[in-house]
Structure 1
Amino acid sequence: MPPVKTKVLFVDNFDSFTYNLVDEFGKRNCDTVVYRADTPLDELKKVAGKFQPVLLVISPGPGTPDKAGVSLEAIENFQKNLPIFGVCLGHQCIVQHFGGKIDHAPAVMHGKPSRISHNGKGIFAGLENPLQAGRYHSLCALSVPDSLEQTAEYDGIVMGVQHKTLPIFGVQFHPESVLTPTGGKIIENLLQIANSYQTQNRTPDRRNPAR
């Protein structure tokens, strides 16, 4: 029998990179469904109840977390039942949701590589340090709230976060970019974490991530 595919639910913040990211998950035996950020939360909850994803991905996009449609609501709703991964704007949404501040970055970075340092744990396990990462952003996290741990940085700028007790991860850079050569390994680490979480936590009373 073919291996069971990992189900991933995407929130698309109207970004041209979203389907590049979807493709990277598809290459790693994932079954993905994509809903635009203007989807009402109730509809997203119904989708999750039927599709039964093991991971929610909040995509990159233009603008600020406050203008990222259902993204902040989705983090609030799914945070205790589903691993969450935020990329660029999605990362900023995670930081803001848990109490951090988002504002203008010291410099606008669109399609530029940086060598970022990381803690070598979680989604960064087994990766070179520092690693090259493709950056496309004009905003960044100015502070990390107590519930999150900073996992990566470049020149004092927050490049990655992880929740201290929940499987919630964010990266400011783009793992799907050609400027991030080891981005695929980050996604593989993430999927391993998400699948392990499902195995350990999907008891009969916790099978519906939309609860």
Structure 2
Amino acid sequence: MDTSTSTTSSTIVILDFGSQYTQLIARRIREFNVFSVVIPCTTPLEKILALDPRGIILSGGPSSVYDADAPAADPAILEQNLPVLGICYGLQFIAHHLGGKVVPSDRREYGHAEVEILAENQLFRGLPQNIDVWMSHGDEAQTLPEGFTRTAQTSNALAGIANEDARIWAVQFHPEVAHTRQGMELLKNFCLDICGAEPNWTPEHFIQTTVERVRAQVGNGHAICGLSGGVDSSVAAVLVARAIGDRLTCIFVNNGVLRKDEFYKVQKTMREQLGLNVVAVDAAQRFLDKLAGITDPERKRKIIGNEFIAVFDDEAKKIFEAEKSSGEEVAWLVQGTLYPDVIESSSVHGPSHTIKSHHNVGGLPEDMKLKLIEPLRDLFKDEVRRIGRDLGMPADIIDRQPFPGPGLAVRILGEVTPERVAILQEADEIVVDEIKKAGLYKKVWQSFAVLLPVKSVGVMGDQRTYANTCAIRAVESEDGMTADWAPLPYEVLRTISSRIVSEVRGINRVVYDITSKPPGTIEWE
């Protein structure tokens, strides 16, 4: 567990018992400018206390506390005279380890429910007597530990308990999800009133402390950064450049599957608007040669990831040699790692199985001997955008929709060829242009075109055509973990379809993807 990037002492620690909503708890707390950190429930007590928490939240989780393989948190966390809030499984953990009894429910509660507050206390202060909540549990606390009282209930089950003398509160529902309408007020009561946390987790404070920390880390050293042109790597680069100036060198690689004219646009923006020192490497042909004849999506990803590492390695060595000849040496590598990546890699479920190799160059050769700078590792995506705005970065970078590391290669189903890349670049440009014209670009999570390995018959200018099919994909999401297809206005879809068929030679049919995630994924490959 790395706590070196924490920039405030007013911290709420969230112990992760494996809930799908754990990240959401942290995000909700951050929304009222209180710093929160998610760590595995198995974290030793001394490491938890070393974070100097103002309070502790026990997350939900899929296990049953009475199972032999239930997550093994230290029950001593309940004896530290720190405010504790248990959520769902967290309530059951409290009841089970303090002498109560948890049993399977006769009736599983999942979805919307109405909770009646039975007793006014600090946690429920200011809330109405009846609140709408989101439930997700199959166990219940049948017997409460000594000193605890029932504070809330649904029509058929316990919904809240408390022992205010012991400074422990718990609810059986999920206040962190939007379906619990007063959830934010409840969390605010706990963090601000009960814990006394200070709302000092602000962009201004983050920028100041991060710049100071990076300046102290690097000293007189130099750093390199793999720049993608996206918001994460761009904000990371600007933060580090603010700390060490031109001793940061950014490497921007054209992998042959960028958007139309992006290789030149990104260079211009990074140099002229952001003042970054950028080394641009046009390796398009090198990547496309490697991708020739490859149709399997995982092989595409690995080829692009491995080739990026090789290109980055080549360029980094040139920089190393130049620095050595001048008596200096590059010693640091800047990465745009975000907090969800950190959480996933240290989750109660174990390390993540997915590596975003293009954006995360952690796979670089060991002989580089570079030390990492990850200035964004405490931030969620929306917080990165806030930091970027406070840094004065251009809106076209800050508000840019997520773009996959393997680029258009995972939006070209089948073989990636220069001709097919050019076709998709033109179609994608039209999608982005029309979405922006309609004022929808910042309202949807992602919107893009996909080139399918399907041809169909069409009629253009009274002549028969036999050309490619293009799919349009637009989704609404909060964090990319789940997503709903976006109901774009018919007129927007009509214009996109008409322009693609008319302007992009090689496409004669356009379809719209109305699949949510799950069961689908946002990208097609």
Residues 5 and 30 in structure 1, CA contact (< 8 A), matched pair in contact too: no
The amino acid across from 1:101 in the alignment is K
- 1: distance between equivalents of 2:179 and 2:137? 14
Describe the SS at the equivalent of 1:124: coil
Distance apart, 1:164 and its partner CA? 4.3
1:13 corresponds in structure 2 to 17
Does residue 35 of structure 1 match 2:39? Answer: yes
1:145 corresponds in structure 2 to 145
- 2: distance between equivalents of 1:46 and 1:145? 27
- 2: distance between equivalents of 1:14 and 1:90? 11
The within-5 A match list for 1:72-83 is 73=74, 75-83=75-83
Q: Which of structure 1's runs of 4+ aligned residues deviate more than 3 A?
A: none
The RMSD of aligned alpha carbons is: 1.8
Distance apart, 1:80 and its partner CA? 3.2
Distance apart, 1:156 and its partner CA? 4.5
Distance apart, 1:104 and its partner CA? 1.3
- 2: distance between equivalents of 1:108 and 1:154? 12
Aligned in 2, Cα 1:163/1:93: closer, same or farther, shift over 3 Å?
same
1:84 corresponds in structure 2 to 84
The amino acid across from 2:149 in the alignment is E
Q: How many residue pairs get matched?
A: 186
The amino acid across from 1:87 in the alignment is I
Does residue 126 of structure 1 match 2:126? Answer: yes
Describe the SS at the equivalent of 2:195: helix
Residues 60 and 90 in structure 1, CA contact (< 8 A), matched pair in contact too: yes
Residues 37 and 69 in structure 1, CA contact (< 8 A), matched pair in contact too: yes
What is the TM-score with the length of structure 2 in the denominator? 0.34
What is the TM-score with the length of structure 1 in the denominator? 0.81
Does residue 117 of structure 1 match 2:121? Answer: no
Distance apart, 1:108 and its partner CA? 1.6
The amino acid across from 2:120 in the alignment is G
- 2: distance between equivalents of 1:12 and 1:151? 24
Distance apart, 1:162 and its partner CA? 0.7
Aligned in 2, Cα 1:20/1:131: closer, same or farther, shift over 3 Å?
same
Larger Rg: 2
Identity %: 24
1:55 corresponds in structure 2 to 55
Residues 58 and 86 in structure 2, CA contact (< 8 A), matched pair in contact too: yes
Residues 81 and 167 in structure 2, CA contact (< 8 A), matched pair in contact too: no
2:178 corresponds in structure 1 to 178
- 2: distance between equivalents of 1:33 and 1:113? 28
- 2: distance between equivalents of 1:15 and 1:164? 26
Aligned in 2, Cα 1:5/1:24: closer, same or farther, shift over 3 Å?
farther
Q: Once the two structures are superposed, what CA deviation does each residue of 1:161-207 show, in whole Å capped at 9, x if it has no partner?
A: 111411111100000122200000101111111118xxxxxxxxxxx
- 2: distance between equivalents of 1:135 and 1:153? 12
1:46 corresponds in structure 2 to 47
Distance apart, 1:76 and its partner CA? 2.2
Residues 9 and 53 in structure 2, CA contact (< 8 A), matched pair in contact too: no
- 2: distance between equivalents of 1:33 and 1:70? 19
1:69 corresponds in structure 2 to 71
The amino acid across from 1:128 in the alignment is P
The amino acid across from 1:114 in the alignment is A
Structure 1 residues not aligned, in runs of 5+ = 197-211
Residues 61 and 88 in structure 1, CA contact (< 8 A), matched pair in contact too: yes
The amino acid across from 1:185 in the alignment is E
Describe the SS at the equivalent of 2:151: strand
2:190 corresponds in structure 1 to 190
Aligned in 2, Cα 1:177/1:9: closer, same or farther, shift over 3 Å?
same
Q: Per residue, is there more helix in 1 or in 2?
A: 2
| 146-155 or 166-175, which deviates more | 146-155
Describe the SS at the equivalent of 1:139: strand
Distance apart, 1:131 and its partner CA? 0.8
1:154 corresponds in structure 2 to 154
Distance apart, 1:103 and its partner CA? 1.0
Distance apart, 1:46 and its partner CA? 2.5
Distance apart, 1:5 and its partner CA? 6.8
Residues 113 and 132 in structure 2, CA contact (< 8 A), matched pair in contact too: yes
Describe the SS at the equivalent of 2:123: helix
Aligned in 2, Cα 1:146/1:38: closer, same or farther, shift over 3 Å?
closer
1:25 corresponds in structure 2 to 29
Describe the SS at the equivalent of 2:53: coil
Describe the SS at the equivalent of 1:19: helix
Distance apart, 1:145 and its partner CA? 2.4
Q: Per residue, is there more strand in 1 or in 2?
A: 1
The structure with higher relative contact order (CA 8 Å, sep 6+) is 1
Aligned in 2, Cα 1:190/1:116: closer, same or farther, shift over 3 Å?
same
- 1: distance between equivalents of 2:121 and 2:77? 26
